[in-house]
Structure 1
Amino acid sequence: MNKHLYQKYVASALAMIMFFSVFAGVNKAHAEAALNVNADGAILVDGKTGKVLYEKNADSVLGIASMTKMMTEYILLDSVKKGKVKWDQEYRVSDLVYKISQRRDLSNVPLRADGTYKVRELYEAMAIYSANAATIALAEIMGGSETNFVKMMNDKAKALGLKDYKFVNSTGLNNRDYKGLQPQGTGAEDENVMSSRAVAKLAFHLINDFPDVLKTASTPKKVFREGTDDQINMINWNWMLPSLDYGYQGMDGLKTGTTDFAGYCFTGTASRDGKRFITVVQNAKDASGQQGGYKARFEETRKMLDYAFSNYTNVKLVPKNYQVKGHKTLPVLKGKEDQVKIYTKSAINMIVLNGEEKNYEPVLVLDKKKVNNKGQLTAPIKKGETVGYVTLKPKNGEKVSFLTPEGQKKAQVDVVAAENVEKANWFVLMMRGIGNFFGDVFHGIGVTVKGWF
């Protein structure tokens, strides 16, 4: 190869490498350029699969303030589902809960020292009004004490597969707000912390495992203890609910949080046109980069939701009964037929950037327990029997990440046998064996004779 041709070859190869490198990062670059979210940590995910669409410092461990209450909600709803707690169960106020409830500098509904309250009204005060004393009351109901409940919170976080978290109380308050009465084993200056990814994962589990949480979280206003001397108007701190100050179409959750340590935080979720997204912002900033306020956390959330609803579409990437090219059948051993047709059991739908539908290639993965090292099944085979699955691989090399393994599985579908294949009887197998034997013999003779000439 002469020098000129060699230089052209190298230049072409470098150009191809640069092209694919740029193309592989196009989605990420597109999101970052379009969003530029002003917050210490942020993430945007598909609410149905947990597919990550945008992230900024998503693994940095930051303060979460009252977003903590999502874990208290999760454990409560799980306890109700399992019959450990009942909605009409009554609670008698403890000294700690009474003292915290009288703090009007904190988000609270005032509780009487000699009062009794039902679990449901305490839950509504927590979910709608972020009432701190009501949250501690629920922690005491479930754990016997808030100290015990904090252990339950950390254990549940581990069970849900969360990373980068630490719970020191049930509310998200600064521990110093407890004035020495914080949960045992925690320090006066300790704070609840999580990464944006962990917060999003908790929110994803909460709305998918207990979708009814959104009925309460989307309540814009409610009167606590209506008709009594203790009634108080509760306005939801999520001011992005459609009827409130920063109303956003489709917004129905989930939890705000504010402390000096955490800054202004918000986990939002909105559903529209069959699409649902979850967003997290931690310590939201204004456009100048200074610590923001209520407006900043909602405006940065709006950025992500506007981007998601405008740029992503839920697309059927693989139809039901789809056959992967080059893998429409599998060979079968010891069957009346020597192969069986296979196809997908159902369709695969996934949220993708507009116009990116053709970027995803279906890939067949066979179940190693069902096939031998030659990729053969063994009869008998039943129609509908699972033999593997089809997953999606981006052609441009883009890395697709999900919050959970369960979400990842929503981007794949089982592949099943399309028909029955009965096991052949002994006579058929014997004759087939004889035929194969003589076939091999004659093939060998043919090769030998051909070699003579």
Structure 2
Amino acid sequence: MKFFKNLKKTFIGIITGVTLFTAGAAGFGGIASVSAASLSSNSDSSLSLDVKAAIAVDAKTGQVLYSKNAETALPVASMSKLLTTYLILKAIHSGKLSWDQKITPDSAAQSVSQDTSLSNVPLESGHSYTVRSLYQAMLIYSANGATMALAYKVGGNSYKNFINMMRKQAKEFGITDASIYTANGLTNGEVGDAAYPGASSTAENKFSAKDMAIIATKLLKKYPEVLKTTSITKKYFNNGTGKTLMSNWNWMLKGLAKSYSELPVDGLKTGTSDTAGACFTGTVNKDGHRIITVVLGAQHTSDTDTSRFVQTQKLMSYVYNNYTYTKINSGSTYSSAKTLPVHDGKTLTTNVATGTATHIWLKNSTSSSNLTASVSGKKSLYKDSGLQAPLKKGETVGTYSFKVKGQSLYFLDGSTSLKTNAVTKSATSKANIFVIGWRAITGLFK
């Protein structure tokens, strides 16, 4: 009788344990649903930016270091070309397009290219241009007609198809609040026969500062070679009958009007229109630590107005002066998160460490000792309440999550903690059937 009472207690304990495990399992492998953190509380009253919206993020981790109205969709004009650039580089890397391939601009692209009131290199009717030359004109001189010629080709000789590709790519990036009508950022009416069907002539592309930061981080991670072009200050474009000098609109590049030796800016893209004001998505790599900044709606009184660059310099300086870059090395261990449970292993736990180096920006008022770690197991590797043995040394078995006491963390993907993978420090072999059986029997009487 006593045996059955103990057995009943064991089963109740097992059921309770399974219930608790199930409730906590959402944390394994990062599959828990995380609502996007509000960025409004990540501004700093000590930094006064004369812009409608702004954001500063780490280029690799997406950690948000400053934000102002960062989730409000606004006109961005030619900064739209960053998403177009991503799709063009995607086509090149997949073999659908090649750098030396010749493109003969369609009538809509050729017509827009002749508009001297817009940023353009003139494209001659019936003349062919290499993909490389059109790409350079798009990124260095923000040439609108050249952008359209590339988009038309990548879209399978269809502007509508290319815009749909842009919309799809934005959604794949997690961007759901954008409005996209043209490949170059002009209004729907300004692109003539390339207008998106069914949309008004005044329809224009709108993205939030956060959206632009997402696009820039994705672009730099996937195609870092883009910086080789965005860092070019001057280059000639051969339009078939003559040469056009292209001067980069990013005046923060080395040697240009708003360069600053302490901030080695090497990209990315400006955008200007009456509705957008002066906008700039910039990136700077200082001491090996790259950040991305976005400013929307800066003052624009004339073509010589430098307000967007002044505001960007303030924002970039703010990050480097108010945060400390802190590296987390691979192989790091933490007393609060050093083991994960093992099922049917010779040992019932396995020691874990960080598998990939990462980094975090800590406010100067915060010490690295305030960094706290937790670890969760990879659900797909679990059986019952532990990782299924055997396990190899260095096997990725879970995720480390880092928070900071006294500092709120925000990331572009909506998470509120820094994450990196957890790996086993040593191999764990499977226990033999006798040990497994004995554990099962003794477990009944506990």
Q: Same fold (TM over 0.5)?
A: yes
**Residue equivalent to 1:40:** 52
Cα displacement string for residues 139-181 of structure 1 (whole angstroms, at most 9, x for unaligned residues): 1111112222111111111122113211111111133323565
| Conserved? CA contact 1:264–1:293, under 8 Å | no
Corresponding residue to 1:314 among 325, 339, 352: 325
Q: Where in structure 1 do 4 or more consecutive aligned residues deviate above 6 Å? A: 27-30, 290-293
Corresponding residue to 1:265 among 279, 285, 295: 279
Cα displacement string for residues 105-151 of structure 1 (whole angstroms, at most 9, x for unaligned residues): 11111111121111111111111001111111111111112222111
Q: Larger deviation: 98-107 or 332-341?
A: 332-341
Q: How far apart are residue 402 of structure 1 and its match?
A: 1.3
| Conserved? CA contact 1:388–1:414, under 8 Å | yes
**Residue equivalent to 1:393:** 403
Q: How far apart are residue 230 of structure 1 and its match?
A: 1.5
Question: Structure 1 residue 414 and structure 2 residue 421: aligned?
Answer: yes
Q: How far apart are residue 279 of structure 1 and its match?
A: 1.0
Equivalent positions of 1:195-344 (< 5 A) are: 195-225=208-238, 229-248=241-260, 249-285=263-299, 294-317=305-328, 319-344=329-354
Question: Structure 1 residue 71 and structure 2 residue 78: aligned?
Answer: no
Letter in 2 for 1:126: M
**Residue equivalent to 1:382:** 392
Q: How far apart are residue 294 of structure 1 and its match?
A: 2.9
**Residue equivalent to 1:4:** none
**Residue equivalent to 2:16:** none
Letter in 1 for 2:271: G
Q: Of the two structures, which has the highest relative contact order with CA contacts closer than 8 Å and spacing of 6 or more?
A: 2
Cα displacement string for residues 218-264 of structure 1 (whole angstroms, at most 9, x for unaligned residues): 100001118x6420111001111111111133111111111111111
Closer, same or farther: CA 403–377 of 1 in aligned 2, 3 Å? closer
- 2:306 aligns to what SS in structure 1? helix
- 2:253 aligns to what SS in structure 1? coil
- 2:431 aligns to what SS in structure 1? coil
Closer, same or farther: CA 87–369 of 1 in aligned 2, 3 Å? closer
In 1, distance between residues paired with 2:363 and 2:154? Answer: 43
Closer, same or farther: CA 203–428 of 1 in aligned 2, 3 Å? closer
Closer, same or farther: CA 437–264 of 1 in aligned 2, 3 Å? closer
- 2:391 aligns to what SS in structure 1? coil
Closer, same or farther: CA 363–260 of 1 in aligned 2, 3 Å? same
**Residue equivalent to 1:349:** 359
Letter in 1 for 2:258: Y
Closer, same or farther: CA 61–370 of 1 in aligned 2, 3 Å? same
In 2, distance between residues paired with 1:334 and 1:95? Answer: 69
In 2, distance between residues paired with 1:193 and 1:438? Answer: 63
In 1, distance between residues paired with 2:355 and 2:48? Answer: 41
Letter in 2 for 1:360: L
Which structure 1 residue ranges, 5 or more long, are not aligned?
A: 1-26, 441-453
| Conserved? CA contact 2:43–2:68, under 8 Å | no
Q: How far apart are residue 28 of structure 1 and its match?
A: 8.5
| Conserved? CA contact 1:285–1:292, under 8 Å | no
In 1, distance between residues paired with 2:388 and 2:107? Answer: 69
In 2, distance between residues paired with 1:84 and 1:425? Answer: 55
Question: Structure 1 residue 182 and structure 2 residue 191: aligned?
Answer: no
In 1, distance between residues paired with 2:287 and 2:273? Answer: 35
Closer, same or farther: CA 376–218 of 1 in aligned 2, 3 Å? same
| Conserved? CA contact 1:342–1:415, under 8 Å | yes
**Residue equivalent to 2:371:** 360
Q: How far apart are residue 378 of structure 1 and its match?
A: 4.3
Cα displacement string for residues 358-402 of structure 1 (whole angstroms, at most 9, x for unaligned residues): 3321112223444466x5444333322333222102223x43221
**Residue equivalent to 2:69:** 57
**Residue equivalent to 1:86:** 98
In 2, distance between residues paired with 1:408 and 1:30? Answer: 12
How many corresponding residue pairs? 404
- 2:403 aligns to what SS in structure 1? strand
| Conserved? CA contact 2:210–2:412, under 8 Å | yes
In 2, distance between residues paired with 1:275 and 1:296? Answer: 25
Closer, same or farther: CA 439–34 of 1 in aligned 2, 3 Å? same
Cα displacement string for residues 15-42 of structure 1 (whole angstroms, at most 9, x for unaligned residues): xxxxxxxxxxxx9889522321111111
Which structure 2 residue ranges, 5 or more long, are not aligned?
A: 1-38
Cα displacement string for residues 63-103 of structure 1 (whole angstroms, at most 9, x for unaligned residues): 11111111111110000000011111111232222221211
Closer, same or farther: CA 159–333 of 1 in aligned 2, 3 Å? closer
- 2:44 aligns to what SS in structure 1? helix
- 2:400 aligns to what SS in structure 1? strand
Q: How far apart are residue 56 of structure 1 and its match?
A: 0.8
Letter in 2 for 1:280: V
Question: Structure 1 residue 138 and structure 2 residue 150: aligned?
Answer: yes
In 2, distance between residues paired with 1:258 and 1:279? Answer: 16
Corresponding residue to 1:105 among 82, 105, 117: 117
In 1, distance between residues paired with 2:423 and 2:343? Answer: 17
Root mean square deviation of aligned Cα? 2.8
